[in-house]
Structure 1
């Protein structure tokens, strides 16, 4: 599978990564800022803005995007419909499921609400990123 690394269109990977990462910034700080804070039990608070909260998600988004590009190439997905089907399977099967699993702990006061907000972000992001990866393959 690693031989596919040399066959990737790295421009498409970087564009898909940028969309994934920037959408996350917008999703959690502008679009769903209030509901996100409420899901964390931190209504009305200003959430900390340390470098780890920017660098960490950037690295994770990049790893997810590269992994998706590898899988898309290995599975020979070359249509938008195939990209959407792939994104729904991976998005729901891994990203959303993992988000729900992470949320179900005593530190997240509203785990289902958190799961909906964060899981939806990952699902939308992987849909967009997968379509970009296939269109620019």
Structure 2
């Protein structure tokens, strides 16, 4: 599977990573900031933490998801938008969304299904966008 590494368009990986990470910032800071905080049991108006971990951690995770998706898309020889959409549905729904909800179902997250909906849909949309972009720039 790793034999596809030389064939990967690394510029597309960089662009897809920036898109995915940027979508996260937009998602949590502008689209769903209050519902996200509520899902975590915080006040809807509580300010975001300035801890760098909350920027660096998601960036590293977004990069790893983007790299893994590129390897899989190339290994599976996904070359059409339809196949990229199917890939995003299977991987996004089957792994990212379900794992997000599973992680949320614990005593530390008071509204696990709200959290799962917000964060799971971010990952689903993000994976769809990066899959389409990686195929477009192949």
So what's the TM-score if we normalise by structure 1? 0.98
Structure 1 stretches of 4+ with a deviation exceeding 6 A read none
Q: Output the CA distance in 1 between the equivalents of 2:25 and 2:137.
A: 24
| Residue equivalent to 1:33 | 33
Q: Output the CA distance in 2 between the equivalents of 1:88 and 1:57.
A: 21
Q: Deviations over 1:69-116 (max 9, x none)?
A: 000000011000000000010000110011001100101000000000
Equivalent position SS for 1:95: helix
Q: Output the CA distance in 1 between the equivalents of 2:122 and 2:93.
A: 11
| Residue equivalent to 1:102 | 103
Deviation for aligned residue 1:5: 1.3
| Residue equivalent to 1:67 | 68
Equivalent position SS for 2:51: coil
**Which residues of structure 2 form unaligned runs of 5+?**
none
Q: Output the CA distance in 2 between the equivalents of 1:49 and 1:82.
A: 39
| Residue equivalent to 1:16 | 16
So what's the TM-score if we normalise by structure 2? 0.97
C-alpha RMSD of matched pairs (Å): 0.7
Deviation for aligned residue 1:47: 2.7
Moved more, 22-31 or 45-54: 45-54
Deviation for aligned residue 1:2: 1.3
